[in-house]
Amino acid sequence: MRMTNADSLCAPVPLYHCFGCVMSSLLSVVFGHSAGPARGPNSTHWRPFRPSTAERCTAIHGVPTMFIAEIEHPEFRRYDMTSLRTGIMAGAPCPIEVMKRVVTDMHCAQLTIAYGQTESSPAITMSDADDPLELRVTTVGRALPDTEVRIVAPWNNETLEVGERGELCTRGYLVIERL
């Protein structure tokens, strides 16, 4: 996401979920930037996007349905989102038309796509902020550093060829081990 300590994060994802608790909260701790939950487009506390706000978020996290609700909100055009440039969309596939609107209307040209699960603390793969738009919405990016990923046949645990359907297996620092 190209984050630095000069950035601030809008984190409308639930903090009790791994997206908010790990990806949003820890990102803020690592970079020492401000982060704040937002309640959604119908709330007066949708603070990063109020017409006049001192806190100008540069990044936003969310799932596709959250971004769709934001860009389809009847008052969307009233909000100044020109400070946004990056963020993470995860939790479900992102239709290319939604991504195009987020990039143009929300100014998030460096929005990334992540894939993961709670047991993997939570991200396994992620696109790069500079990947072409089509690549970001048609893949889940690449394995994160120090993370191994393979697709196996569930019936025999054999690694499958590229393009075959199977079960995703991952290994690395991010996996919660069984005791």
pLDDT digits (tens, 9 = 90+) for 34-61: 666 555 555 534 544 554 355 678 899 9
pTM: predicted TM-score of the whole model, two decimal places: 0.85
pLDDT digits (tens, 9 = 90+) for 11-25: 888 878 888 888 888
Residue 2 confidence class, pLDDT cut points 50, 70, 90:
confident
Q: Which domains does the chain have, with CATH numbers?
A: 8-144 (3.40.50.980)
Residue found under tokens 């620092």: 173
User: Which two tokens mark 73?
Assistant: 């909100």
**Geometric angle at alpha carbon 55, from 52 and 58, rounded to 5°:** 110
Residue 1 confidence class, pLDDT cut points 50, 70, 90:
confident
29 vs 20: CA distance, rounded Å:
13
Which residues have CB under 8 Å from 142's CB, separation 6+?
Answer: 125, 126, 127, 128
In this prediction, residue 48 carries a pLDDT of 47
Judge whether residue 152 has pLDDT over 90.
yes
In this prediction, residue 16 carries a pLDDT of 80
User: Which two tokens mark 110?
Assistant: 């460096």
DSSP string, 15-42: TTSHIIIIIIHHHHHHHT-EEE----TT
